[in-house]
Amino acid sequence: MVLVWLGHGAMGQVGEPDVGEPGVGEPGVEEVAQQEPSDSPDGIWAILSAGGPVGVVIMLLSVAAVALAIEHVMTIRESVLMPPNLGEQVRQLLADGKLASAQQRCRAAPSFLGFVLQAGLAETDGGWSAVEKAVEDATADQSARLFRKIEYLSVIGNIAPMLGLLGTVIGMIFAFREVADTQGAARAADLAEGIYLALVTTVEGLIVAIPSLAAFAVFRNRVDQLVAEVAYVTQHVFAPLKRVRPSGGTSGTAPPAPPPPPVGGR
């Protein structure tokens, strides 16, 4: 029995392989991982470039949207559209009867507010009604110009998903053409290229459209706020003219001038 037990122990030592160490000539786990080639795309650029010509157009639209957003941030600001102290200076000059100096001050500060004030000053001879009409027309003209300026973001936000849909249709056409060419024997790998194109262009269109429409909404609200502030400042500047009748006489029952707008227009 002792010999049988020793025999079984010897057989176990000889026959059992050492699982803790790799065999001779067999690569380890790390070596196998290093030897396996990577077939994944090289980053996000490879994914974006898979969109084809439609994807290129969408990327160009994204560049245009970013450029427009940066330009609007720099120009649609209170300090640009409403130069500081311009309204108070023009109001003081107008109250002192220095109409030429007030017009010169407006020309020296080309802006939304300067254009509106200059339009009103040019009609002072016609009385308050003519000034009010000129101010309203100038405000409407300048606000329309600003709205047309930010409208391009809305256009990009609406065109980008349509282009993505176009790429989706093109990709599905490629996929079904493969099915038709192979008489229905196409494998999933044969259809993957067309479906991949369809999904990539759809994602690209949405990535461009969502920020563009969001930026358009922000700038539209900002323009509305600035137009309201310009209208308030303009009423404050031309308040002294309300005391003068169209015939040149003064009215003793004229209402007091409105207070100056708060800092920041709020």
Threshold 0.95, pTM exceeds? no
Q: What is the mean pLDDT of residues 193-210?
A: 85
Residue pLDDT, tens place only, 161-199: 999 999 888 888 777 777 767 766 666 666 667 777 778
Identify the residue with better confidence: 228 or 52: 228
Residue pLDDT, tens place only, 68-115: 999 999 999 998 999 988 989 999 988 888 889 989 999 998 999 999
Read off the pLDDT band of 3 (50, 70, 90). Answer: very low
Q: What is the predicted pLDDT for the residue at 33?
A: 41
Q: Give the CA distances from residue 196 to residues 49, 53, 162, 175, 184, in Å, rounded to whole numbers and listed in that order.
A: 11, 14, 18, 10, 19
Residue pLDDT, tens place only, 19-63: 444 444 444 444 434 444 444 445 666 666 667 788 889 999 999
